[in-house]
Amino acid sequence: MSPRGAELPSPPRGASTPPEASATALQTRGAVAFLTPSLLLIGVFLVFPALWTLYLGITDYRLTGIQAAQPQVIGLDNYTSALGDPAFANSLWVTLLYVLGSAVVGQLGLGFALAWTFRRWRGPARNALEVLVITAWIIPSSVVAFLWIAFLDTHNGTLNAALGNADIPWLFSWPLLSIVVFNTWRGTAFSMLLCGGALNTLPPSHLETARLAGASSWQQLRDIVLPSIRGHILTNLLLISLWTFNDFTPYLITAGGPNFATDTLPVYIFRNALINFQLGYGAAISAILLVINLVIALVYLRLLRARS
């Protein structure tokens, strides 16, 4: 370890710091101390129950019934049941569409657009809009379901009333679209906050220089902003995709229907496993979900890291 002191020149920004210098910046002991509280919490309350749950996936464990008193290890039976079920494939497809539409395009797109618009806008209108967006995120799921059932009702719904007393059966004819629009409404706030925070780490001087040099808003966005906050966008995408994949709220609005048109994977798990407390089966499907999400994350990483 090199001695600390003024003899060491500052490494140029952006270059990878030689290991000795990073150890200088953060001593091992310090790093361990910093990591301990979270590791403890994560180890005890996250990893341990998660591994236990995944283990349940190879048993026929149920909360009640004989299998509660005497669970048997049944190997991969749960997995083959789930993967062989045509409803599972339908569910996977519906979920992918749901995630693509409401998270990737909807929440991230609208969230970023709002964060970008809010950057230099002040005033009561802006505050009101911000509060509206946040409130949509905050209202509890059980209440939100009623809000949207009321909004999309065929005969008395607010949307149909706003469209001039139309009688469009949104939840029956366009159920997937309805829940995509719903989830965009629901979760945009998080992307807005995260992108907003990310945009605020940009030195304003960069953008000022670009603006003075004649770059349009669009060019600033494309050439300076997006590349700089690419890491944040990737994080955001990973998180909201994962959360949307596991989102159970559509069930409260459409109960997975009509005819399984909105039967996303969490609804599928609920209907096939959890409603009867077949926890072993439910754990197995959760494990499959986990693998799918891992694959999606790798796809994102490839897409976003490759461009450099």
**Interface of this chain with another protein, residues 116 to 145, rule: CB under 8 A:** 117, 125, 128-129, 131-143, 145
86 binds another protein (CB under 8 A): no
31 binds another protein (CB under 8 A): yes
Bridge partners for 59 per DSSP: 73
Q: How far is the CB of 93 from another protein (least distance, A)?
A: 19
Q: Write the interaction track for another protein spanning residues 163-192; mark x where CB under 8 A is met and - where it is not.
A: ------x-xx------------x----x--
Among 90, 109, 210, 276, binds another protein (CB under 8 A): 276
Bridge partners for 73 per DSSP: 59
Q: 302 exposed, middle or buried (CB, 10 Å; 0-12, 13-18, 19+)?
A: exposed
Among 180, 194, 207, 288, binds another protein (CB under 8 A): 194
If we measure between CA atoms, which residue out of 95, 122, 110, 112 comes closest to residue 251? Answer: 95
Residues of span 42-81 touching another protein by CB under 8 A: 42-50, 52-54, 56, 61-66, 68-69
The CA distance from 35 to 117, in Å, is 37
Q: How far is the CB of 306 from another protein (least distance, A)?
A: 15
Region of 11 (left: φ > 0; alpha: ψ -120 to 50; beta: rest) is beta
Q: What are phi and psi of 59, to 5 degrees?
A: -120, 175
> 172, 154 in Cβ contact below 8 A?
yes
Q: How far is the CB of 168 from another protein (least distance, A)?
A: 13
Task: Pick the closer one to another protein by CB: 94 or 194.
Answer: 194
Among 203, 212, 302, 308, binds another protein (CB under 8 A): 203
94 binds another protein (CB under 8 A): no
The position carrying tokens 């069930």 is: 251
> 170, 178 in Cβ contact below 8 A?
yes
Q: How far is the CB of 166 from another protein (least distance, A)?
A: 14
Residues listed for the chain = 308
Tokens coding 104: 């990737």
Q: How far is the CB of 270 from another protein (least distance, A)?
A: 8
Residues of span 225-254 touching another protein by CB under 8 A: 228, 231-232, 235, 238-239, 242-243, 245-246, 251-254
